Structure 1
Amino acid sequence: MSRLQTGLRTGLLAVTVAAVVSGCASQSQQSAQESTLRPMEQTRLIAGMHYGSLYQRNLLFGLAQPSQPETAWDLTRDNLSLELDLEEARLARELAWLEQNPAHVTAVSQRALPYYHYILEQVLERGMPAEVALIPFIESGYNPFAVSSARAAGPWQFIPGTARNFGLESNWWYDGRRDIVASTDAALNYLSKLNDMFEGDWLLTFAAYNAGEGNVLRAMNRNREANKPLDYWSLRLPAETMRYVPKLLATARVIRDADTLGVELEAIPAEPYFAQIDTGGQLDLSQAAALAEIDLDELKRLNPGFSRWATAPEGPHRLLVPVENADQFQTALVQLPVEERVNYQHYTINSGDTLGAIARRFGTTVSALQQANQMDHTRLRVGQTLLVPAGNTDLALQSARAGSG
């Protein structure tokens, strides 16, 4: 997308916002009503934002109004912005492979079901082309648990160093690279930075996301010194990157032409799949699933950032649950007694401490301490920090045993 197109989209969004604000001013009670919207209502409101901005744009220019997209794939097709019909040999090879292996696209679209609409909406709200939402197709096959040989992890495949640079935390309890909300925000921040660096050229942006900006800049410098073009197709880049961008464009083209090609895509509605709920502190995942009245596997699928049987002691203190279970979960959380929550404290070992003494002091068990700290022994060293389960120790021990694997 050119800078002119980007500026136009930004300006149109501003017009849309102004129109909405103007309308709200005539309704004195609307602010109060919006502040009390339930999670399901809030997420549905968000779901309509992009369609509304498209409506305002067409109204402004006297264009025919679009029909509201029924699926996330319709919304994707409406917002594909790059040239997908180029006659490039590399693009033709990737397209041929996808056409010969339609089950691959089908399988990835099925894995994308809980996440795709959210990621697409985040992409469009930033004025990015819809092709950006297809990056996890290429990076991880939309599997948030994917890990590469280079230790890249999550749907966007962040390596540890880049993850730290973009604020993604990683510890024994939690890996932000797998967190759908956190990793998507970090990835889009990174892509925005790269797109500014490459002056709005999305193909160079995608190449830099895969190979690193240094590799792309060096390739451009080599071409510049040789008086060669500086566009992506003219650069000599690492072999993986030479395939990466054509693979992304071919995927976008197959999704655009899925009906014509006979490719079956998972039916993903053009509305939110999940809502974000503030848990108010640490929470056992099995307990959370019961409170939300969903399967534990579904809760884990929506919250892949949490590595253990409970959310992280120091946060993030939020869980994603299906939209239709959001009200139930919020109500149950409000009614949950504090003493029935799992929570952990940090304790620094002093001279003379034993696991038994620490367990008695905090009202827990030696086994719970060992489970919480991945210990298969009772030896301690001065200065060592232990995670100590507090509150409902029986629940902590039960959860630890169930989830330590």
Structure 2
Amino acid sequence: MQDAHRSRRSAFVRFRTFRGVILLVVLVLVLAGCRSRSRPTTPKATGIHDNRPQVWTQSNARIRKFVRVYSRNHHVRICLERAQDNGYVPYIHRVFYKHRLPPELVYLPLLESCFDTKADSGHARGMWQFVQGTAREYGLRVGKSFDDRLNWRKSTHSAARYLKWLGERFNYNWELALAGYNGGPNYLARQMKQQGTWNYWELNLREETYKYVPKFLAMLEVARQRYPDLYYEGGPRFWIAAR
């Protein structure tokens, strides 16, 4: 009788142990499933056109020179505040994401116009500083009584298409694409051919284009480090995380 009782008790203990193991396995699988669903999408899946994402956080003597300059003055903060006050950046993020552009390019107006939609350098106008020829090529109307370059929403769509084209032309080497945005793609291509290099940092370019990329990267660094509350990375939540 006692043996039978012990046998039933032993079977009951084994059953409880087995049930506990099953419940533990189920719990682990559920947690693993939740984790996989919350994991950021990979860069390949997002399709962001950026072969070298480390470009945006690199540092060298030319960049550090301008980091010191922009850290001493308030230019970057003023531009970021203007962008925030007018809600420019979230809109630009959405447009640029549709074209799978690196999110750092959203802040190119820091350098081009300080996010001034009416900026006029004499030969280029608007937030994105389009010259007339490029503006018309990318769908903006430019005439005596109207100028779509001053419409920041329209010009943002044109800037996205132009930057995408520059990225494609320079194999998504964004240092070269940015230099092409400033100096013109044909000028840059000639210099690359003559000097025999695809390395922006090795190119001997005219002064403005020579300084353009380190200035922009320095502005990004100052924005991230000194004004994180104004540096909106926005866009879809996985965009930044996936990079």
Normalised by the length of structure 2, the TM-score is 0.70
> How far did 1:116 drift?
1.5
What per-residue deviation string (whole Å, max 9, x for no partner) do you get for residues 255-274 of structure 1?
A: 2223xxxx475486958xxx
> How far did 1:252 drift?
1.5
> Highest relative contact order (Cα 8 Å, sep 6+), 1 or 2?
2
Counterpart mapping for 1:5-20 below 5 A: none
Name the counterpart of 1:256: 224
> Counterpart of 1:235 in structure 2: which amino acid?
L
Q: What count of residue pairs does the alignment treat as equivalent?
A: 190
Name the counterpart of 2:23: none
What per-residue deviation string (whole Å, max 9, x for no partner) do you get for residues 172-203 of structure 1?
A: 44211011121011111111111111111111
1:110 to 81, 86, 89: 81
2:36 to 31, 56, 62: 62
Please give the alpha-carbon distance, in whole angstroms, between the structure 2 residues aligned to 1:110 and 1:87: 25
Name the counterpart of 1:206: 178
Give me the identity figure in percent. 32
Matching of residue 186 in structure 1 with residue 154 in structure 2: no
Tell me the C-alpha RMSD between the 2 structures: 2.6
Task: Note if contact 1:219-1:237 (Cα within 8 Å) is conserved in structure 2.
Answer: yes
Please give the alpha-carbon distance, in whole angstroms, between the structure 2 residues aligned to 1:81 and 1:91: 16
2:149 to 148, 163, 177: 177
Counterpart mapping for 1:143-292 below 5 A: 143-149=116-122, 151-224=123-196, 229-258=197-226, 263=227, 265-266=229-230
Q: Which runs of 4+ in 1 moved over 4 A?
A: 63-66, 264-271
**Structure 2, unpaired ranges of 5+:** 1-32, 41-51, 236-243
Counterpart mapping for 1:374-385 below 5 A: none
Task: Give the greater-gyration-radius structure (CA).
Answer: 2
Matching of residue 119 in structure 1 with residue 87 in structure 2: no
Name the counterpart of 1:138: 111
Task: Note if contact 1:81-1:130 (Cα within 8 Å) is conserved in structure 2.
Answer: no
Please give the alpha-carbon distance, in whole angstroms, between the structure 2 residues aligned to 1:173 and 1:155: 19
> How far did 1:118 drift?
0.5
Please give the alpha-carbon distance, in whole angstroms, between the structure 2 residues aligned to 1:215 and 1:190: 16
Matching of residue 129 in structure 1 with residue 97 in structure 2: no
**Structure 1, unpaired ranges of 5+:** 1-58, 67-79, 272-405
1:93 to 65, 79, 83: 65
